[in-house]
Amino acid sequence: MELLLFTVFAAAACGGAIAVVLSQNVVRMAFYLVISLGSTAGLFFMLNADFVGATQLLIYVGGTVVLLIFGVMLTASGPFLTIKSSPGDMVQAILVGALFLGMVVVTVLQVDWDGNAAKLESRYGVSSLERPGYNQRGEGHTTRSIGAALLGARFDKDLGKNREQPSTGYLLPFEIVSVHLLVVLIGAAYLARAKRRVNVPSEF
């Protein structure tokens, strides 16, 4: 069952990604991107990361990609809809890409991840997700732990342990990202808004 689901999602994610590369039409690319990102969300659910999966759907697929498509609609009029890469470039890039992929996959898969994890865990403690009792009713309910961690408290790591200092909480990034988003929003709005009016009208 798990294998079946994994195969479906993984195939869709990879297939979507490859289709993005091969497609020449921007809107189709966006569509394949949606498939790829959506299936990635499926993979996240399989990895017990339900909150991340939902965020992926809401922000990435529902927000970012819609934004991209919106951009396509504002810019890609007729002739620019399909800006073709030259075939020579494509072939070259795909060859290099395939080599690169081979390299990354071979390197990454050569590692004995489980062995490493066991080795590290034997010295540094068990990973928090495996801790029984914290995740309610089966696996994947990580919302509470993530919520607490975003406020800086790592109940999943620290409860019942003897530590001098609290484990890494994420209060700072959670807060500072909001400043960042504000700044970025201002910047994007500045660039996107119409050029300045020459004489300031008294009434909008």
Contact positions with other proteins (CB under 8 A) in 169-198? 169-173, 176-177, 179-192, 195-196
For other proteins, which residue of 162, 199, 202, 203 counts as binding (CB under 8 A)?
A: 162
Enumerate residues 51-110 that contact other proteins by CB under 8 A: 51-76, 80, 83-85, 89-90, 93-94, 96-97, 100-101, 104-105, 107-110
Enumerate residues 137-156 that contact other proteins by CB under 8 A: 137, 140-146, 149-150, 152-156
Compute the least distance from the CB of residue 143 to other proteins, in Å. Answer: 4
Compute the least distance from the CB of residue 196 to other proteins, in Å. Answer: 6
Contact string 104-123 vs other proteins (x = CB under 8 A): xx-xxxxxxxx-xx-xxx-x
14 touching other proteins, by CB under 8 A: yes
157 touching other proteins, by CB under 8 A: yes
Cβ contact 84:24 at 8 Å: yes
| Count of other CB atoms within 10 angstroms of residue 157 | 21
For other proteins, which residue of 160, 201, 202, 203 counts as binding (CB under 8 A)?
A: 160
Compute the least distance from the CB of residue 145 to other proteins, in Å. Answer: 6
The amino acid at residue 146 is: I
Enumerate residues 17-56 that contact other proteins by CB under 8 A: 17-18, 20-21, 25-31, 33-34, 36-38, 40, 43-44, 46-56
For residues 46 and 40, what is the distance between their CA atoms, to the nearest angstrom?
A: 10
Backbone angles phi, psi at 99, to 5 degrees: -60, -45
CA 56 distance to own-chain centroid:
6
Count how many Cα atoms sit within 13 Å of the Cα of residue 22 in the half-sphere of its side chain. Answer: 6
Tokens of 111: 């590692």
Contacts of residues 7-12 at CB distance under 8 Å and 24 or more positions apart, as own/partner, are: 8/39, 8/42, 9/39, 9/40, 9/42, 9/43, 9/46, 10/39, 10/43, 12/36, 12/38, 12/39, 12/42
The count of chain residues that interact with other proteins, using the rule CB under 8 A, is 143
Compute the least distance from the CB of residue 140 to other proteins, in Å. Answer: 8
